[in-house]
Amino acid sequence: MSLLLRRRFFWEEIDLMSLLDILLLVAALLASGLFVLGRGSFAGWLATVVYGLMLAVLAIAGLALDSGVAFIPSAMSFEILGRNLGWRLDGLGWFFALLTVGAAFFASWYGSGEWGRKQKRMGLQHALLALNVLAMLLLLSSGDLLSLFIGWELVSWAAFAIMTQGGGPAVAAAYRYMIYALAGAMAVFAAIMLVQNVTGGLGFADLQTAISAMSTAQVWVLFILFAAGFGVKMALMPFHLWQAPAYSETPGASSAFLNAVSARMGLFALILVLVKLTGLEALGSLAIPFTFMSAKSALMWVAAITMVVPTFIALMQTDARMLLTWHGIGQGGYMLLGVLVGTSLGTAGGLMHVFNYATYQAALFLAVTAVIHRAGTSDLDELGGLITRMPWTYVTLLMGIIGLAGLPPMNGFVSKWMIYKSLLDGGQPLLLIMAFAATLGTILSVYKLIHNIFLGQLRREHQHLKEAPVSMVLPMLILAGIGFVTGFMPGLALNITDIAQRAIGGDMLPHHLGGVTLATGSLNMLWVVGVLIGAIGAGALIFYLLGNRRYEVHQFDNYAGGHFLSADIRYHFSHEFYPGLARVIGPWYRGSIVRAEQGIGILVNVAGDLWQAVFRVAYTPLYMLLVVVLGLVFTGSWGIVP
Amino acid sequence: MMSYVADFIFMPLIAFVTGLGLVLMARRVRAKIERRVGPPVLQPIYDIVKLYAKKTQISHGIMHDLSIMMLLGGFITAEIFLPVPGFDGLAGEGDLITLIYIMMVPMLGLALGVGSCANPNGSIGISRALTAMLAYDIPFIIAVTGACMAYGTTNLIEIVQIQQAGGPASWGAATMPLLAFGGLLAVHGMMGKEPFEIYIAPAEIATGPMVEMSGKYMGALFIMQCFQLYTIGVIYTTLFLGGGENWPFFLAKVFAVVFISVAVTNVYGRFKTDTMIRWMWKWPTGIALAGLALVMAN
Amino acid sequence: MSDKLPVIEDQPEICRSVDAGERSVWTRVMNRFADHCRARSLFVLHYCTGCGAIELPPTITSRFDMERVGVSPMVTPRQADILLITGYLSIKTLKRVILSYEQMQSPKYVIGFGSCTINGGMYWNSYATVKRLDQYIPADLFIAGCMPRPEAVQQVLLKLMEDIDAGKANGWQDYYNNYDRYLGNQQALFGESWHTPTDVIAEAKHYGYLADGTMGRHTDLLLKRADYALDRVPEDYPERGKNERRLP
Ligand code: SF4
């Protein structure tokens, strides 16, 4: 990007202040516009085009940030009770904003065609998606703790609103989410109040002064409040139970969006508050009494457990969407772990994993939605053999799972490799082993996913299925394609994460188009993928040149111990796909996880019933307003009367 | 450039030929233990040629064919990333971690191909094979991690150099015996020999993953077996036995690693999948963790 | 019922049909090489429903050691070269034998083991057993005796290897070339609705083994049955590619 420094480009002529404003304005206009126009069949396409424009604006902002601008301020700022509320987009926020708008772009494209027409209230879904984007942009561009909190609340409520769209179980799951989110928000709010109490200010700088001014006990309280509050959103381990049902019950396209980026808002806030503002050294020096551990290593272990346990829970799921959302929780652990290692490699790896995860998780979810669209179910015990019917969906899902499992040649491998390598170089062998173990579990689980849906026996009722329409296949194939390209040339993704990494501070990771070159072992994906593809080509030559022509038989021409197979017999081996493993981890899974979930489910149901008595879904915006206003008044009065 | 071309052609070829030797050795050793004569020297070649020369080649769809290509392609790639005497190939462009994950590509390919055969026995076999992979890879990964910590690098060329500079006393097997032993047990599981061959279980699920493989599909699996034995042997040699100074020594070590496994395998019955997981997660994992603790303490 | 059943016809001389590329030197050399390897690598599928199965363990294990000559047991027809029928076949098991035989990949060889496979043996007057194996699938060699010893099994394997090496063991081509006759005999036993999942005719077409005897009045029945089957279970034979069994 040194090229940029030599010449002046047009975005340096236009007022940089306006870029963020344009973005927010467009997002707000889109959201409100869709609420009005959402019923129209063109609404989805309009939204897609607007997201495309927003991506272009973000790209210009990215070039500006890359050329050394620290942040892009917004003209919008207002003073409330002596507090200055401001918004500005720095590199970190920009990175997450890019993913947000990108995910919204593909989700809305997907929802604009045939899939959307079959939805009950697609207009509302489009509008809520735009509302989510707006809320997330506000959060990502927050300039102080107060605007951060407001953004945080907005994101929670917007997500809640979109989650309820599924109806039925979705509403219950969304309530459960809301309980968690409110608890998390209270924790964050308390932490912010703590900072306010000590320093009397709510700027990001005040947080830094507060930490140096506070006693160790106070810092601990602050740390726990922030980690727990933000950890709820990214489903860190003890606070993770809401996420899988809430995300998987959301209607397909919106669910892909939520899965790809929504939980990452928690990661953004954690990185912002704990890594960027507090600093990892401060966390590392926050020792836990009577142990060898510090706050940082404790959080790393939490991240590692978040990586392993949900992965193996995902393995036990029988629903494709639940399986994927549980993996989403697990993948969050990798990102946090990478960022917490704190080396340039680890941070870049963690951030790149955010990017990679967004690409393949969105692709996976869209593919599963396509299966639901055609076959009517995502129950892994009721599908099978769809590869002959929906080959392009299969290709997407295959590329997606290779990314999710972290195998070459997809991008998931590169970021995971960087995380492994940073753990190894950082002297954390146990965490590394946990990361490896989680990856192994992921391989098992994703194979089950693709096997039960696409391989094996084709059921009689699925004989006449057709491939999903182009409006659905194209966006998911493009997403999978991005996953492949950034796996082949990880330098492209690393250029983007560079901008975020520069905003976090610390060393930058030197990289090239193919990967990174380190003294202790390098990775050049250009070679790896190039040779892999070449070798598969050689395999194809061997296959086609040697031996007689192939002859394709139908699925019942199959050896089953001399048994005559026919469509009357269901023999697809899908239910309890890993019986041996289930016998080992099954009791543990049922004993602790399922019980805990039931217990919390009951608790939340009780709370949810109380909650429902207070207000109905229809009053959501009103309630949101109330909370915001109360929050402002509360902060304000606290500031005036210390 | 020419050196790369030579690497790309010769490294897989050497691997294949050595692998044929390893397969022959495995079969001969088994025969000797059973007091039989065993197959003739060219038997592995006869088998492969015969399978490729089958006149009908049935396929269960494009994915079935693709899986065969992925299988061969993945292993050919793995061979190119392995440092052997005289050839470093691309070992500098990807490291040990890359290699381990490249080796999973053919496994995934095989699994997908078997799945697309729509044979319940095949699916059961793959389910067991993947579970077995989870079982043996955990101790293996611990051994690899420990070794990487001890050598301070994941670069395969450097790992070999470090061991060769210090002579046999600096070999991984001498400096970290516990890790080497845990790794060896894991490697035994990786080769799919008794008692860890439940995913093949011929009499029960009709060779599991291979049930629908015939003709050149089966031939490709035979080739894969050659590659697999060789790759496992070379990785273990590289990590714990000082890699290769020259070909005779190097091959002797590779054959020794495989020999240990095939020599003990015959006295065992077969573990159930869950027994295998428990055993793998208890003994090799425990031994490797102890080795890791020793490495970390130093 | 019996007068409607197709007539069991006599078996003509098995002879090798000449491939089109047989005259090119390259093809001849390659075929020779392939035959050489085929003869030295034989995977056997033991169809062990008869008493004779008990003779096979000694054949395989250290006393006689089949692997010495490249013969090893295999458990699925897909991988096997030899179908070794060890003794009597009931009508029910014959169905499975035919299914397995058709799922084997050509070139494939059948060895009938024991008198039971030759003429019914001591079950010659049983209502439930098959008398002559080679009426239903082309048997390359038989081992006489009740029951033959492992030495005899070895002898016949060596004889088969000789034949393969000389390019003479071509019973499998006969099954393609005279499928109609074999099918007729099978239908005589199992009834007109008899069918296997393997589409032998399409396979013969695909690989150019179609001959005058491949299709006939018995295979017409097969097509009618396919029609019937498709009617009853429309999805009985889902299309998994273009080599699908097509209705006329
Ligand atoms: S030939 Fe004799 S030994 Fe063999 S199956 Fe018949 S009765 Fe039994």
Q: pLDDT band at residue A12, thresholds of 50, 70 and 90? A: low
Helices B177-190 and B215-240, axial angle in degrees (round to 10): 180
Please report the pLDDT score of residue C232 as a whole number: 38
Domain ranges of chain A: 343-533, 579-637
Q: Worst-scoring range by mean pLDDT, A25-39, A393-407, B259-273, C123-137?
A: A25-39
Evaluate if residue B198 carries a pLDDT over 60: yes
pLDDT, tens only, B45-87: 999 998 998 888 888 888 899 999 998 999 998 888 888 887 7
Domain ranges of chain C: 19-168, 178-232
Evaluate if residue A627 carries a pLDDT over 90: no
Evaluate if residue C1 carries a pLDDT over 50: no
Q: What is the mean pLDDT of residues A21-45?
A: 79
Total structural domains within chain B:
1
CB-CB neighbors (< 8 A) of A567 in chain C: 233, 235-236, 238
The chains in contact with chain B, meaning 3 or more Cβ pairs closer than 8 Å, are A, C
Rounded to whole angstroms, the Cα distance separating B66 from C18 reads 33
Yes or no: say if A436 and A407 are a contact pair by the CB < 8 Å rule.
no
The DSSP H or E segment spanning B114 is helix B104-116
Rounded to whole angstroms, the Cα distance separating C135 from A169 reads 63
Test site for ligand 1: of C51, C111, C142, C156, most ligand atoms within 8 A of the Cβ: C51
Mutate which of B154, B239, B277 to disrupt the A interface (most A C-beta within 10 Å)? B154
Q: pLDDT band at residue B295, thresholds of 50, 70 and 90? A: confident
Evaluate if residue A617 carries a pLDDT over 80: no
Rounded to whole angstroms, the Cα distance separating C182 from C174 reads 9
Instruction: Assign a CATH topology to domain C19-168.
Output: Rossmann fold (3.40.50)
Please report the pLDDT score of residue C235 as a whole number: 42
Residue A515 three-state SS: strand
Beta bridge partners of A365: none
Please report the pLDDT score of residue C19 as a whole number: 57
Residue B87 three-state SS: strand
- CB of C54 within 6 A of ligand 1: the answer is no
Q: pLDDT band at residue A623, thresholds of 50, 70 and 90? A: low
Q: Worst-scoring range by mean pLDDT, A397-406, A463-472, C36-45, C154-163?
A: A463-472
CB of B24 within 8 Å of any CB in chain C? no
Please report the pLDDT score of residue B274 as a whole number: 87
Q: Worst-scoring range by mean pLDDT, A112-121, B20-29, B236-245?
A: A112-121
CA of C238 to the centre of ligand 1 (A): 41
The chain-wide mean pLDDT, for chain B, equals: 87
Please report the pLDDT score of residue B159 as a whole number: 85
CB of A567 within 8 Å of any CB in chain B? no
pLDDT, tens only, A356-399: 999 999 999 999 999 988 888 888 888 888 888 889 999 999 99
Rounded to whole angstroms, the Cα distance separating A283 from A213 reads 15
pLDDT, tens only, C114-150: 888 888 888 888 888 888 888 888 988 888 888 888 8
Q: What is the mean pLDDT of residues B264-278?
A: 86
The chain-wide mean pLDDT, for chain C, equals: 78
Residue A83 three-state SS: strand
Please report the pLDDT score of residue A20 as a whole number: 77
The residue that leads in pLDDT, A72 or B164, is: B164
Of residues C67, C203, C240, nearest to B38 (C-beta): C67
Evaluate if residue C14 carries a pLDDT over 60: no
The listed range with the strongest mean pLDDT (A285-294, A401-410, A512-521, A611-620) is A401-410
Beta strands C109-113; C82-86: pairing state: parallel
Please report the pLDDT score of residue B120 as a whole number: 87
Yes or no: say if B280 and B139 are a contact pair by the CB < 8 Å rule.
yes
Please report the pLDDT score of residue A634 as a whole number: 61
> Do B36 and C78 make contact, defined as CB atoms within 8 angstroms?
no
> Do C103 and A559 make contact, defined as CB atoms within 8 angstroms?
yes
- Report the complex ipTM: 0.91
- CB of C15 within 6 A of ligand 1: the answer is no
**For A343-374, b where at least 16 C-beta lie within 10 A, e where not — what string?**
bbbbbbbbbbbbbbbbbbbbbbbbbbbbbbbb
pLDDT, tens only, C159-168: 998 888 887 8
The number of angstroms, rounded, from the C-alpha of A109 to the middle of its chain's C-alpha atoms is: 19
Please report the pLDDT score of residue B83 as a whole number: 84
Evaluate if residue A642 carries a pLDDT over 60: no
pLDDT, tens only, B107-132: 889 999 998 888 888 888 999 989 99
Range of the domain at B177: 2-297
Rounded to whole angstroms, the Cα distance separating A543 from B224 reads 13
Q: Worst-scoring range by mean pLDDT, A455-459, A510-514, A638-642?
A: A638-642
- CB of C49 within 6 A of ligand 1: the answer is no
The residue written with tokens 């009494």 in the block is A289
Determine the distance in angstroms separating the CA of A385 from the nearest CA of chain C, rounded to an integer.
10
The chain-wide mean pLDDT, for chain A, equals: 81
Rounded to whole angstroms, the Cα distance separating C83 from C179 reads 18
Q: What is the mean pLDDT of residues A112-139?
A: 84
Please report the pLDDT score of residue A9 as a whole number: 52
Q: Tell me the torsion sign for CA atoms C18, C21, C23, C27.
A: negative
Mutate which of B56, B62, B119 to disrupt the C interface (most C C-beta within 10 Å)? B56
What is the value of pTM for the model shown? 0.87
Q: Write the residue with the smallest CA distance to atom 2 of ligand 1.
A: C146
Evaluate if residue A347 carries a pLDDT over 70: yes
Closest residue in A to B113 (Cα) is: A455
Yes or no: say if A464 and B168 are a contact pair by the CB < 8 Å rule.
no
Rounded to whole angstroms, the Cα distance separating B222 from B206 reads 16
Q: Worst-scoring range by mean pLDDT, A441-450, A493-502, B192-201, C129-138?
A: B192-201
Determine the distance in angstroms separating the CA of B186 from the nearest CA of chain C, rounded to an integer.
27
Cα atoms in the 13 Å half-sphere on the side-chain side of A378: 23
Determine the distance in angstroms separating the CA of A59 from the nearest CA of chain B, rounded to an integer.
32
- From the CA of C88, give the closest atom in ligand 1: 5
Which candidate, B104, B115, B270, places its Cα nearest to that of B202? B270
The chains in contact with chain C, meaning 3 or more Cβ pairs closer than 8 Å, are A, B
Determine the distance in angstroms separating the CA of A135 from the nearest CA of chain C, rounded to an integer.
48
Evaluate if residue C180 carries a pLDDT over 70: yes
Q: Worst-scoring range by mean pLDDT, A181-190, A547-556, B196-205?
A: B196-205
Q: How far is CA A73 from CA A23, A115, A557, in A?
A: 12, 38, 66
Beta strands A71-80; B57-59: pairing state: unpaired
Evaluate if residue A540 carries a pLDDT over 60: yes
Q: What is the mean pLDDT of residues A490-508?
A: 84
Closest residue in A to B65 (Cα) is: A543
- Asked whether the bond before A178 is cis by omega within 30 degrees of 0, the reply is no
> Do C99 and A567 make contact, defined as CB atoms within 8 angstroms?
no
- CB of C121 within 6 A of ligand 1: the answer is yes
Beta strands C71-74; C42-47: pairing state: parallel
pLDDT, tens only, A278-316: 777 777 777 777 677 777 888 888 888 888 888 888 888
